Each structure stands twice: as C-alpha cells, then as structure tokens.
A = this chain, B = another copy of it.
C-alpha cells in the first residue's frame, strides 16, 4: 500500500510570535527559519509582511532553501479591488514561495468583526487566492474559527472553504482558533467537509491547546483525512499554545497506527535530530527546556529508582514506548546506572579523547559531571566546557597562562556636560610564560570590559586567539531570590568557522562569566593544537 504523504507546516514565526513573552527580532527569525529549513519542515510560515518593520524586513529576501517560505496576511478588504489593497500588495511583493491568507469562516465574526456581508467575505477569499495564484505563488487559506463557525452555521463555513478551494488554493486549513473543540468533534466535522467535496489532500488542520488536546486534535484530523498539519516548535503560541510539532512528528513517524499508513518528508536521521532542534529553539528563546516534554524532554525516558528501574535495564523496549535514540534522546535511570559509563566513553571518543573503560579517572569524571550538574552547570549546552573538564580530569590540558587577579568597575555619574554616563572598566593581571602582564580595557558593561582585557595581551598566545570572538552571552538565574545562582553560557567563534559553547556557574555573575570566558580561550588554544595535528598532551 502506498503511504499517504503528510505535509508539515510550521507557524512558530507567525502564530508562535503571539506567545506571551515571546518577541522575535529579525536575527531570531533568521536563525529559527534556518533551524526549520535544515530540519526539513515542508512549510515555514515567517510572519506578516507589511504589518510591522521586523516582518517586512524578514520577507525582503527568501530565508529558506528546502522549505517553502510562507507569508501570512489577511484577504483583501471588502469594497476595494485587489489592486487597491496595500496589505495584499505587500504579501504578493514579499519574497515568499507561498501565501497563507486568513479569513473569517464564522458568519457571526464576519458581521461583528469585519462588518461586511457574507458574500463580500466569500468574494474577498476568491479574489485574494486568485491574485496569489496569478502571481505564481502557492496559495492557501486559514479558515479562522472554522469549527465554532461550522457548529453555528455549517453551510457558511463550508462556503468559505469551498470558495478558496475553487479559486485554486493548494490548501484549505481548518482552524480551531479558540482551541476548545474536542477530538471527536474535529473528526466529525473534518469528515463532513470531505463529504461536501473538498478532498482531504487539500485540507489542513490548525489546532490550539486550550483543553490540552492540540496534539490529539491534530492527529484526529489526520485520521479523518486532512494531509497538512500546522503547529509550532515546542508548542509555543497564543494563550495555551499551538499544536506541538515536536510531539506530533515522532508520533506520526514511530507509532504503528500512523507510520503504517502515512509518511512525512523527513528521514529517520532527521527524526533523530528532533531533540537537538527542540533544545536549540529553547536556547534561542533563552528559556529552560521542559524536562517533561514528550519524546525530547530530559525526563522523557528517565526512571526513578523503584519498581521499574531494575526491570527496565533488563528489557528496555517493554518499558519504553519508543526507543529514545529514535528521537535523539537517551535513557536515564536515576540510580547508579551501567548505561552511563558507556555513554561517556562514546561521547569522549566522539571528541577524540580515548580512555579505557577501567580507567579510574573515568569514574572521577562521571562523578564530577554529576556533581557539577547538580550544582547548576549544564554541559549539554556547553560542549567546550565539557571537553575541557574531561581533558583536565584525564590530565591532558597544559597551563597556558594563569589569571592572578582581576577587577571590574562600573560607574554611573554626570559627565562634564551634565549628561548621565556609565563607564565600565576591567583590569586583569595575568602570567604567561613566566611574565606578568597588566591589561586594562573599557567595554559595554563589566563582562565586555573583562573579555577585552583578558584577550588584550596573552603574550606568546596572542596571535593564536586574534581571530576568536564572543558571539553570544546568555544568563540564567537558577533559583530565584537571595540564594540565586547564576549560570552564564558563552558562544564563541573563530576565523575557521568553528563555534563553541562554554559555561560558568557562581552566585556572582562576573565570576560565572569569567569561568566561561576562560574556558572559551583555553578551548581555542587546545583546538588550535588538535587541528595542527599536535598532541594536546605535553
């Protein structure tokens, strides 16, 4: 039996932008589009060109290579022609492959919110879809409030869907805008729409999580016949969020009930990258990943000591609903586990660090990582710091230089012209190759000043670090209040295009930053030696 293709449509950058507390910059949008494009999502909806400067700039060029790049916007206003609607013009002019229009499909909202007639709204749908098609773009329609509208007036809701379909829309997307529809209602209404003549392979589902069932509603719609599913990364979105693609995709690809009948455009290798995708997105949002997230959470395959833990190790597949490695996750048994050691050896090998299984320093390293993670370090997001910790514990990092002391100062006062001015300065005392050097620098804030001062004069190593740069700096407070511990993550890169992440933890943000900055420099020096083919051990 040939499998039916399910198309994945991501609206993180458009509907996800409605999440309270989320406000994507242009740089955020570019980075997230690249994540989605690399992962292999079929459609990436980028925003609403013309509605705000960020989205307009984002759509000034095409931001994806594999994924279709989708612009979102309203159908033309009633009473103006398509050539006289500036909103429509902005959509068509954008560097998008496809346009997703949104239109009311609940007659009540047509009257109250749009203030036009039902027929005018249908005409706007037809005309807008036709213009997009004529401009050579793939056209689709989000039928807003479709399910509530269908319950109130099925004929009109259907008429909206049919108008788009007949005008040439590739997809007609049925939206549960208020998020309160139940799975059985979704099934029944989708079946009615298909029975009314719009084929399932032209229909999509857009669900919200207001009753905690966005994933179930999306899957119910697929079972009932739709072939496009809309959602967001980690389920971000307005109110309670949108359908979580990071949950839906593994279920579609791994659960027999779906995998036997459907296929996505993703390979098994892509699926194994989904945990990384999910965590990378949280990193971009600077928020802690949900440890209990289905499939990708750190706890998703974790078992506490108890009835299950020992049996789990005997026969994991009877205790795990899918193999954790299929989604790039890992089993975690929160007692002294046998699996841990093998994972470490594999990870070290991947980094070119060979160690024997019975080397006692390996046990020291495992204990050290556990202890440090318990105190706030996060090595999963700081590969270079993990690398250094491993090499140090195994005795393979030379003392390139030592920082004897440093001092940072931030002063805010009125300058000679009566303007408030803030000055940040750092002084570092460092010993390199037997020679002591004092460096001073000003910066934007104390960490920037410290970074500049640290890298100002490292003597014999100075040439080597000239091409490295701090590109991102993230701070998270681990426990609120006076007992707060600060975790700093720093991303660095160099002229060779390498990127690495380091971590520092302290109750003092400057101290935590200093640890991460030091790790970043030392890692760069190690990396230089490795790539020059020299042994790091001396």
Contact = CB atoms under 8 A, between A and B. Distances in A.
A486 to B, nearest CB: 7
A407 B409 contact: yes
A44 to B, nearest CB: 20
Nearest to A21: B381
A20 B473 CA distance: 18
A506 B301 CA distance: 38
B378 A410 contact: no
B445 A412 contact: no
Given A318-B109, A474-B477, A239 B404 contact: no
B305 A18 contact: yes
B183 A220 contact: yes
A255 interface: yes
Contacts of A23: 336, 373, 378
Interface stretch (A33-41, A120-128, A288-296, A342-350): A288-296
Given A178-B320, A472-B477, A510 B302 contact: no
Interface string A207-244: 00111110110011001000000000000001111001
Interface string A241-257: 10010010011000101
Interface in A175-220: 178-185, 209-213, 215-216, 219-220
Contacts of A220: 183
A457 interface: no
Contacts of A473: 477, 480, 484
A238 to B, nearest CB: 6
Contact of A255 (B211, B302, B315, B509): B211
Interface in A261-295: 286, 291-295
Contacts of A18: 304-306
Nearest to A214: B212
Interface of A: 18-21, 23, 25, 27, 52-53, 74, 106, 108-109, 112-113, 145, 148, 178-185, 209-213, 215-216, 219-220, 223, 238-241, 244, 247, 250-251, 255, 257-258, 286, 291-295, 297-307, 311, 314-315, 318-322, 334, 336-338, 373-374, 378, 380-381, 404-414, 422, 424, 444-448, 469-482, 484, 486, 491, 506-511, 514
Closest 6 CB pairs of A and B: A180-B321, A216-B216, A405-B413, A475-B475, A212-B247, A445-B508
